[in-house]
Amino acid sequence: MAFPTDWGRRCAVVIDNTKVTLDGSDFPVSIDKDMLPSEMFDADGTYPALNGGGDVRFSSDSAGTVQLNLEVVTFVTDNDPANGVAELWVKVPSISSSVDTTIYVWYNKAAETQPAASATGGSEGVWPAKYETTLHMDEDPSSSDQLDSTANGHNYTCNNMEIGDLVPGKIGNCLSFQPATAEYINRASEYCNGSTGMTWQCWVNLTSAASQFLFDQRESSTGVQPGHLDNSGNLQFYSSDTGNSGRFGSGLSTSTWYKIDLVLGGGNITMYVNGTTTYSKADNEFNFGTKNMYIATRHSVGSALDGLVDEFRLLNEALSAEWIETEYNNQNDHANFAAAGTPESPGGPTGRPLPQRVLTGPFSGPFKGSIRR
């Protein structure tokens, strides 16, 4: 039956407004185990979710009348709920910096599967139209492309990579790139149109600080290098179309996760590291059309990255500073971004509370109870 009929449990998930700097709409929230009730992961408990997350749903209201789009990347239950794992992404219709935002997770329904990616509540709807590409970096790179979660189908080809290059990342799994074997991923004719604004973003963890490329979007000598690292781990932006070097530095240490956001728009090039502006430079808008996109190398397949990359995004919009900071707060510290309330049984098959009846009988007072019709 259709959601929310016959779902056994629901629980409020409350987003802390003090961790939100954005007042906006259609915000994809990263959800992990720390933000959910532990009973969901208790495989031999009373109210588990299904292993694989087929029965997990979210709504913006307690009755379940407004279902939210959900992408289940990973959901694992265990007889010991401490061993459970969750990587979920939910599009929240409205998020506020002044009041807490509450959404509801539903689970504990037998024989359920996730809706089709393009259906109501499906995974593609998590990513608004401004997301050209969303890669979670969690496919086996020895046998599969890295799959795009948006409706655009911008999958990336893995080159020279092995199963051992799929390793634990910042959020779920990620890819480990080895320069000795020139490992990288790429896609031909990726979107790159500076006239509407652009944002490149990912998490990176460097193994070495050698001169290397985080990503590069060029064809031959034309295009943009939004993510070149020099020998000191300084991140640089370079436009070969205009000849503007657009270079700026922010030293990145090794063995440390950083969220990188490079934004082109409003006449500026702006770089954010861990949600904070580290450099902004007035510059002309760029308009490149579509260009080949390379992650962990440059267009000529050299200066390969030595490190880990997770959660790559390409957007056809210049994201705001508030959006980027809120993303960082969410993805860097799930447990302090939102917390689960007390799980409850919805009561009726549609999530409505059961009617209350007052009974009388040969006893000293009325008996108040619930009677199922």
The reply to whether 149 and 285 lie within a common domain is: yes
Q: Residue 144 domain-assigned?
A: yes
- Does 119 share its domain with 49? yes
Q: Are residues 198 and 269 in the same domain?
A: yes
pLDDT score at 354: 37
163: CB partners within 8 A, 6+ apart: 140, 141, 142, 143
In-domain check, residue 119: yes
Report how far residue 344's alpha carbon sits from residue 370's, in angstroms, rounded to the nearest whole number: 16
Pairing of strands 173-177, 307-315: antiparallel
Exposure string over 35-49, b if 16+ CB within 10 A, otherwise e: bbbebbbbbeeebbb
Write down the pLDDT at residue 252: 85
Whether 352 is covered by a domain: the verdict is no
Chunked into runs of 10 residues, the chain (373 residues) has average pLDDT values of: 93 98 98 98 98 98 98 98 98 98 98 97 97 98 98 97 98 96 94 83 92 80 66 69 52 91 85 88 70 88 91 96 98 98 79 38 37 30
Per-residue confidence (pLDDT) for residue 266, from 0 to 100:
80
Confidence (pLDDT) at 372? 31
Q: Which domain holds residue 16?
A: 9-127+328-340
Q: What is the CATH number of the domain that holds 214?
A: 2.60.120.200
User: What sign does the CA torsion over 302, 308, 314, 318 have?
Assistant: negative
Instruction: Write out the H or E segment, with its range, that includes residue 26.
Output: strand 24-32
Burial class (CB in 10 A: 0-12, 13-18, 19+), 25: exposed
Place of tokens 């508030």: 322
Domain annotation covers residue 322 = no
Tell me, yes or no, whether 73 and 195 share the same domain.
no
Which residues on adjacent β-strands are paired with residue 327?
Answer: none
Cα–Cα distance, 361 to 366 (Å, whole number): 7
Confidence at residue 219, expressed as pLDDT on a 0 to 100 scale: 66
User: Same domain, yes or no, for 105 and 206?
Assistant: no
pLDDT at 253: 87
What is the DSSP secondary structure assignment for residue 327, as one 8-state letter? H
**CB neighbours of residue 298 within 10 Å:** 21
Is 372 domain-assigned? no
165 in a structural domain: yes
Q: For residues 147 and 292, state if they share a domain.
A: yes
- What b/e sequence results for 75-86 when a residue is b if at least 16 CB atoms lie within 10 Å of its CB, and e otherwise? bebeeebeebeb
Separation of alpha carbons 67 and 89, rounded Å: 14
Q: Are residues 48 and 145 in the same domain?
A: no
Domain co-membership, 102 together with 149: no
Same domain for 25 and 118, yes or no, is: yes
Nearest Cα neighbor of 3 from 46, 63, 79, 91 is 63
- Do 286 and 266 belong to one domain? yes
Residues 153 and 295 in one domain: yes
Angle 89-340-18 (CA atoms, 0-180°, nearest 5)?
80
Question: Residue 228 has what pLDDT?
Answer: 73
For residue 363, tell me if it sits in a domain.
Answer: no
Annotate 119-145 with three-state secondary structure.
CCCCHHHHCCCCEEEEECCCCCCCCCC
> Given this model, what pLDDT does residue 365 score?
40
- Same domain, yes or no, for 35 and 176? no
Q: How many domains does the chain have?
A: 2
Answer whether residue 370 is part of any domain. no
